[in-house]
Amino acid sequence: ERRLRGRDKDDEQAIRQRMANAAEEIAHLTEFDYVIINDDFEQARADLAAIVRAARTKLAVQRERYPGLFSAFRLP
């Protein structure tokens, strides 16, 4: 809220609506495995890149990408 008010670009109604939307989104916080706090853009960007890398290296993704390799291991 402080950031929105400091920008001095939105009227009071818009700020209230954005804060209500944020509260609704935060209410779903526990539904996610990852949370990126965007108070430092470079850190948030690095965190997002790390999540993407982690998702790309999950077993299911790698098994699909390299079926021949994983079939040699006779995994279930």
| Average pLDDT for the chain | 93
Mean pLDDT in residue range 39-59 = 96
Whole-angstrom distance, CA of residue 18 vs CA of residue 1: 9
Q: What pLDDT sits at residue 65?
A: 93
Mean pLDDT in residue range 41-65 = 96
Q: Confirm whether pTM is higher than 0.85.
A: no
Determine how many CB atoms are found less than 10 A away from the CB of residue 10: 13
Identify the band that residue 73 occupies on the pLDDT scale cut at 50, 70 and 90. Answer: confident
Mean pLDDT in residue range 2-22 = 93
DSSP-derived 3-state class of residue 76: coil
Tokens of 3: 């950031």
Whole-angstrom distance, CA of residue 60 vs CA of residue 65: 9
Quick check: 71 pLDDT over 80? Answer: yes
